[in-house]
Structure 1
Amino acid sequence: MKTLTFLFSFIALSFSALSQQTTNLVIFSDQGEPFYAFVNSVKQNENAMSNVKITDLPSEMARIRIVFEDESLGTLDRNFMLQFGHEITARIMQNRKGQYVLRPFGEPVPISAAPVVADQPVIIYHAEPATAEPTPARPTNIPVADEEVVQTTVVVTEGERPARPAGQGASIGINVDGVGISMDVNIHDETGSMSSTTTTTTTTTTRQPATRPQPVDPVVVEEEVVEPLVPGYSGPIGCSGFLMSDSQFEQAKKTISNQTFEDNKITVAKQISASNCLTTSQVKELLPLFTFEDSKLDFAKHAYDRTHDIGNYWMLNDSFTFSSSVDDLNRFIQSRR
């Protein structure tokens, strides 16, 4: 009995550990617009849907592309932050400008506690596209060379003929322009009877085109051009998730500023950066909210891995009063590379 209990416990722990290494993603459209979901450039749903759950994603970062069934609505293409062991929900909606956007919806929910929605399609993530057997190209007959075809017709006309005595017969053969005629004439002196055999051979030469399969032009797939999250930036990337919008960032600054104590400001700032990707310019705007040099340096180090354009991190140098702080930050950056 103890052995069975241990075995079931081991199996349960194994499934639990496995689920911690994957994540689920739910995508739904606010107004019910059907769409196709591409995860890391691979189409997940073969039929357009307005609500779909994709399970067993093996990474905490995914490139999501939404292609609407109604082509006039355009496409959405964004990086999306996920969390192992949790189910993340993304919402397709229109912003104030009437543009379609893909935004996180609600809070991450542990997979074990994720709600089950009736009639919601569930798709297991696949990293390779589902391919059907290729249909061979139908060859098109085109003339390539003349081929000579010879047709021969033989017509034989034969009358009754007795055995021919030697020396009493004649044979004539004629061939003109592909038409062969042979004639055998026999005369019998005693009976006066005559029999003849006439063989006509007709040779007809015609020309017809031979055929060969017409080569099929190769299919050229244009590589999708992904717009950079920071316009004009092409350097190393730290965080590739959603960047905070201007309104979200202003709200974050206000929340940090409303904190009375420095420690609380640091805590709130780290909470914000842990859930969002920042740009170097946004980090630079947050540093003056801290009073002490050590607090600025502490947050700058924390935000480095949560910043998209880390190649621009040198822009923070003039945010510090002491050169030792700049040197300390530079040593930290070198250690992260």
Structure 2
Amino acid sequence: MKYLASMILGLFLVLSTYGQKSDLIVFSESGELFHLTINGIQKTDSAQSNVKIKNLNQPRYSVKIEFKDKSKGVIDKNVFLKPGMVSVYAIKMKNNGRYVMRWHSESSLTGMPVGEEKVTSFQTEPDITEPAHREGEVKTGFRRIDNAQRIDKSVEKTEVKHSAQSYNGQFVANGTMCSSPSMNAKEFMDFKYNLEEENMFKREDAIENAFDHQCFLAEQIAALLKLEYSTVDNMRIARLGYRSTFNTEDYMVVVNTFDSKSKRESLLTFLQSTGSTADVPEPTYSEPQEPTHYQMPGYTGAIGCDWPASDQEYSSIISTIENQSFSDTKLNTAKQFATSKCLTVDQVKGLMNQFSFEDTKLEFAKFAYEHTYDIDNYFKLNNAFSFESSISELQEYIQNK
């Protein structure tokens, strides 16, 4: 009888949690007025500096911010909400003058954040319903982690438990709280770009915050480690990231991002100590062989071509272009060089900087993509553009390749 009562109570708790709705608050730190659109539906009749949307019933929404002052640009962002919680996002201006929307805080619906009295309320009519999966789009994953389940801030004490966990009534293997990855290719590229723009001493916090709110693929965790920021502890990120990984059976791709044998063995030991079901056999090491293509230090992503142009060849083409007077001639010369020589992303960016016009930069960036060695680093070209629309157009071009 006690067993039956426990089962009924557990089922009630799962269903009640799943049925809870959530609220979203968006505010501008400096008081900029904006219109807010959710899943293509504008929710503000007039421009506001603080907006609250109530009774949202999905874990993920597409949010668009359009400033009353058109010169401030447009922000497109996917937000992730927890059932029964108020999620607060802040609009702020970065040092480069670009506006971004960042996660700020969250609280229970029964305990509102400080400053809520300044927020204008808007009721959804009716509650927005988004398809669970659109054709061509990665299904959104959402994980709930309470304080008792959080990974300890100290890497030495990090511990992953692998008993079966419940996610919205479904059991998820490996002890992770991910039912599916949260980011498609474009969203992950945007995330990496935001990290590039982040204060160098806050990047590790930004990555950890993302682990708390989203689910990643092992390949995406590996891509984060390949960025090799000097202020980020890659071993700590590799350990913390395991809990936030959907396909943990492929976590060897993360292990292999480390060049040091001792670091690979350290991470393998950590994974094995968790009782992981990931495919982490003891690695075997062999004598290095002559590479068949150029190997960029720290880069293990996709390769678009084998051997990038040498520094001497690159300096020569830059000098040639600088001595030319017409934009079309410069562009054609750069294309000829890219066709005959493999480039790195840094070399592509350097050539783009030889052009004065935005459309010329964009045209060359598109052309050079198929002639670039480290194509997974292509997001680094974003800050070579002056307009957000150029970045979006380039990303769309890459996704359609």
Same-fold status (TM-score > 0.5): no
Higher strand share goes to which structure?
1
TM-score by length of 1: 0.44
Structure with more contact order per residue of length (Cα contacts < 8 Å, sep ≥ 6): 1
- Greater helix proportion: 2
| Greater radius of gyration (CA) | 1
